[in-house]
Structure 1
Amino acid sequence: MQTSQRPRWLVALLLGLLALGWAGHGPVPVLAQQIGQPAGTAIHLPLQWNGPDTIPAAELATAAPPLQAVAVQGDFQIQHIPDPDGDILRVLPGPAPQAGTERSVFLAWPLPDPDAGFDVPAGRAITLTVSARLFSPPEGARLTIQEQGEAWSSSSVAMDGIQWTTYTVRRAIGDGAAAVQMGIVWRPTLDNAWLELRNLQVEIGPPGLTVPLELLSPTDTPTPPPPPTPTPTATAAPTEPPAQEEAPTPILLVVTSTPTPADVFEAATRVAQATEWARILGTATPTPPNMVTATFTPTPVIVTNTPTPGNPATATYVALLATAQAVTTGTATPFPPNAVVLVATDTPTPTPRPAQGRPTPTPTPIFVYLEDLRPTPVPTATPPFPEALQGKILFLSDMFGTTRRPNAFVINPDGTGLALLTSRHFYDRAKARDAYSADRRFYAYALREHANGQAGLVQLFYDDALYGSSRHQLTYFGVGTAWAPAWSPVDEVVALVSSESANDEIWLVRRNEWPPRQLTHNEWEWDHSPSFSPDGSQIVFASNRVSGLRQLWIMDADGSNPRQLTFLLPYEAWDPVWVKYTDD
């Protein structure tokens, strides 16, 4: 934009701000972008923080422009935490007013934004990026870009990592877009859920920039551009009739029919998937006028008699199957008019004539035992924990899978004997057992503390089975969250992870004593998932130190003598547990 189009005092003010900075709240070139349309420059959000360290979500628009909290259901608190790697916004849900109440919040930047000088970026490409981590089972949050055309549609990616992860979503905004809003949608279901964000930035491409299909977010549905409208031009009157132009050959989009589900369970999966797509993406885009449907020669429909169930158990199964089919696929539809229906009939087997003589009557029983009417259920016993795993370290890795679908592995504490577990069953049991003390008297867990009715930090608490008491507070951190507790097998000490020191470090806390002891001290690396050895003298944990990728490490219980256990690069190893109990 030409500076001559602005008053000279405004130009001088902007140059002064560029030289002095904006009171420590970020580079002023971002502020200058508010005046005109952006042209490919990354815009870091929020532009500044104007409020106290903790605010209600409703005050976000004033404290952190241009971000706003929209579509808010329930109470949410937002904390601002200065950090050299990028200030952190921590979002905490308040306690649910009643069971089953849905809570949701959308931290969004709506466009157009007259206060910041931004119009709707119609015809441009938007890239939204954020670093985030969260604890929000069973569902995480979504980074999303929403566009309003004839209806709202969106592109989004799931955010569900407990460690810092960078997420990116891209969308090409249509030329006819009336409004755009982008940000993070979160629907926590637990009181102790939390979400942390930093380095949220938006990049809006210049006019006419398109995004290649391979770079679009998976949920995008590109809409084909409308055909150009010819511009009429004045021509002289012809002396003879003009030759007729040949009609253009239409380009047809061939749409094939969706395959019929193989069984009722596949049909149920499709129903759930379609419902989820409708919730995230909105209703389907209308079909274009040049769409044609591929049809096939009808396959004959063969109708057979339904066999009579051989026993009551089969009859019950048939009834349940019919109910499931009615729920998932609806009631049976009539045959189409052009269907070829073949009815299979069974040739009756002649009934042998009974022998002559007086038949012996069969008495009707007065009662029948229930075990004679239905099959006796066979109890499935929980298999004992294998002795072969005692003293070994179990962990997860993407060596034969992905970070979302990892496999469980086993390794000796000296780094030998690496093997793949055939199932995660025993890993999950050992991991859950680590939250209990050796005698199972104490059970530790993460929960949000509540002070004076206000939502606080996620701290560790424990239950005491001996006295039947619960919610004894174990940690009292001031600014960091705490999670991943693991009891020592020989003492009333818990190893845990906390972000109190800005990094995720491993700490030790003794029951009913404070302050805790910090075992690891990193500059930028983080350490997770501590687990004691069977004798309590060592701790195994996951760390991204040295390589930047997660590997397993072992240190003494006082934090000394750390050494790397796994070297699986380029694969990762995480969430270890040192097996030490058989009463899981």
Structure 2
Amino acid sequence: MSAPLFVGGALAVLLLISLVAGVSAFLAYQVASNAAPAEPIADTNAAGSAVLAEQSATATEEPEPTATDTLAPTPTAEVVILPTVTPVADTTTMALAPKAGNVSWWSSNSMPRGYTNDSFLYAGSLQDDTYISAIRFDISRVPRGAEIFKAQLKLTGLREDRLVADPNTIWWVEVMAEEALEKLAGADFMTVFSAPSSITLAPIRTDELAKDQVNVLEFEALDRAWLEQRLLNGDKWIIVRIKATTQGVETRFGWDSGQGPETTGHPPELLLTLGPPPPTPPPIPTKPVIVATATPVPENPMTVVALNETATYVATAVGTYTPIPFQMVTPTPFPANLETVQAVAFALELPAVVPDTPTPGNDATATFVSAIATAVAQTTGTYTPVPTGYVTPILIYPSPPAESILTVVARETAAAAAALRETPTPVPFNAVFGEYVVATPTPENVLTAAVVVAQATADAEANGTPRPTPWNWIVITPTPLPVEPTATPTAIIEALSLTPTITPTPQPLASLDQIMPGLRNHILFKTTRNGVEEIFALDLATNQLSRINDSRVYPMAREQLTRSPDGRATVIVEADDTGVRQIKISFADSGERRRITTFPPKVRGADQISYDPAWSPTGNLIAFVTNNTGNDEIFTIDPEGQVLTQLTFNRTEWDKHPSWSPDGSQIVFFSNRDTSLRRLWIMNADGSEQREISSLGQPGPANPDYEDWDPVWVR
């Protein structure tokens, strides 16, 4: 072999060995890399450390390659960046608490009609009595369309003396829509107990209850969505009901209602965390109603008896009638207002009914009307143009209000006779029947006018501005009866001195109106200040006492207590079918008597009575006395018999004979508190600031053990 050939072969062998060694090293490095990833090198760069850590976390083990495996490049780990949670901006928190008249508790036996504005919200069971409570929250101020990020209900414990530490007792808090329970005050136990609920919050266990303990209940996401939908539907209220499952254990707990004398000032609270409202609130959907024909009034007593017997048989054989649904409306024979007339005309494709705009009486009025039109055009757009071929509405004046029941009978007799003689004239489609409305009396002085303005301002802030006066209202002003002059009038009011004087002989009086200028806003009352029963008058502005010399003045003033402000009805006391004396309203025109209280025959074994009713000058409340709570206490109730509120709370004393101030803001009554003697007291219309006023009268009494009673505040 030649030297060059040997050298070339040696070089080839060396090159082959080098190639095999390189491949073996590469394979060894690849296997080591996949089997055990290298630790990342420490780096002061935070971003680099994060990437290395992410690579280490996402690498996966691969099986060791065999001789037949195909080599592939190492995959690069993917860096995942998690989103950052941004807190919600522009959120607001609203704390809603129930207003007066919107907290009540019921018991199945002793208090089936409910107890409104008491200090406690009871739930549980005692002596075969089931207790439930309800709270009505006003949600009308919550912006419609705003997202509710958080909602909580807070209840503060107030009474635990009848609470039994039973682990099986569960307290349920349920939320209902406003249509589930149309009226809270005045509803009976079964109505509230059986009303359907939409939400059941987390249950409360007995070990979570204690006096001053706050129970916080969260609304879950679906609960908040339900609440948002109620707001979009235009609901104004939601109702919270509290029940208990006691499993036969006699236990009861009371939360703080925020009302009454024993509250600690911690009412139920609905806390809402809200997002920003939309720029334009969504439209309120139209709610369906059920149109049903009203049951006709029975024509005679025999029909009444037959209907009662039929209802009794149906209740015994089938069950009681289905309650009237809240969304039911009854049709009227004629449109009740201009809006209905316009809607009917549009539906029947008749000419549009448009009232004429009155011509301005002067240049100043014309300028004002023009300015309003300009402002409306700039804010909401120009007025809708008047359609062509329109007609103006016709106002049909009904018979004026009857002064007595005899007038009503005479009119009905004449109408019946006319109907027999001739066919009534059809009413045109654009006719609107008028409605008589008694005018608001003109304030007698600057102070009264200021009070009226302040009250109107407060009402506007709380409930919104009043609606415009309906087109078909006919405002009437009552004409006072003429005053017959007396020959030689005797002084009606006599200033008192420290020395009692002999009461002169009373003279006949034509009308109480004759002496009203001297007695208006005075409190008349019976008294024994001089050792004998007399009638005195107290002027609260000066605390001056005067003697009333005419014995007819007090009875005439007392007649004002029970009359409605418009004079069309009187509040009376009359026994019901069970013999319980209840408060009723007697209507002069129709003779109807409607009961507005429904107290049971006995409470705690005692007979129940109600008495001393007095109608507020504002017409919205009636004060009266009842012993339903065990003592004679003063309550108020609205003329519909729906909102019952207790104003006075005593243990053994009593309060009687309420009488309203002329503006309806205060109530005077007499009580045997403190001294066990009858004395005059006064309080605000909501029961606050109760104080004794008999001792304020000047001059002081000659009889130290005097008594004052039966006050009448002259209007």
Normalization by structure 1: what TM-score? 0.31
For CA contacts below 8 A with separation 6 or more, give which structure has more relative contact order. 2
Query: More strand by proportion, 1 or 2?
Result: 1
Normalization by structure 2: what TM-score? 0.26
